[in-house]
Amino acid sequence: MRRFNYFAISSVVAVTLLSFISIGSVKPSELFVGQAFPQTEIAEPHKGELVLVNFWAAYDAASRDKNVRLSMVVKKFDEKAMAGSSRLKSISISMDRFPVVFEEVVKQDGLNFSEVSLEADGFQSKLAKDLKLNNQFGNFLVDEQGKIIAKDFTPEELERMLDRYLD
């Protein structure tokens, strides 16, 4: 009986951990640099601004780390953007399903974005489908005309782009 309980508990843990992994069905987003950013609830209010949009989740260590590093770059450029004629808007969107986890991570990480929001339906949300995220975290840099000027970049690449763009 003890072996059966151990097997049952191990199976539940394994299935839970594997549920975060997509095998074979994941394909890159169909949005490309140079295309117009799709009409979404995050695009419309920011026309005329340079917009950074980043998707992440607390359960994905790499995306969370990248989000924190992007936040540091944003903090550095916020003053520069305000002093110049360009405005930088930064939006960090968590794909976590649980508000408590999201709120705690935002506090712990001390995020510095114009907006930090939770997409509680995760990759099943309308926003994720509109942006064709296909179960992948990523980011976009959108210019004042609403065109994607960069996609899936590192914090270091963002820093170089903002250096050029905001000068």
Q: What is the CATH number of the domain that holds 82?
A: 3.40.30.10
Q: Evaluate whether residue 6 is within a structural domain.
A: no
Q: Evaluate whether residue 46 is within a structural domain.
A: yes
* Contact partners, residue 159, CB within 8 Å, separation at least 6: 73, 76, 77
- Give residue 12's pLDDT: 38
The values of phi and psi at residue 13, to 5°, are -65, -45
Q: Evaluate whether residue 97 is within a structural domain.
A: yes
99-109 and 61-83 helices cross at what angle (nearest 10)?
A: 60
Query: Which residue range(s) make up the domain with 57?
Result: 28-165
* Contact partners, residue 125, CB within 8 Å, separation at least 6: 95, 119
Our count of domains for the chain comes to 1
Residues 104-133 pLDDT 10s: 999 999 998 889 999 999 999 999 998 889
- Give residue 26's pLDDT: 38
Q: Evaluate whether residue 104 is within a structural domain.
A: yes
Q: Evaluate whether residue 92 is within a structural domain.
A: yes
Q: Are 138 and 29 in contact (CB under 8 A)?
A: yes
| Kind plus residue range of the DSSP H or E element containing 54 | strand 50-56
- The string over 78-100, giving b where at least 16 C-beta atoms fall within 10 Å of a residue's C-beta and e elsewhere, is beebeeeebbbbbbbbbbbbeee
Q: Evaluate whether residue 85 is within a structural domain.
A: yes
Low-confidence residues in the chain, pLDDT < 50: 4-8, 10-28
Q: Evaluate whether residue 3 is within a structural domain.
A: no
pTM of the model: 0.77
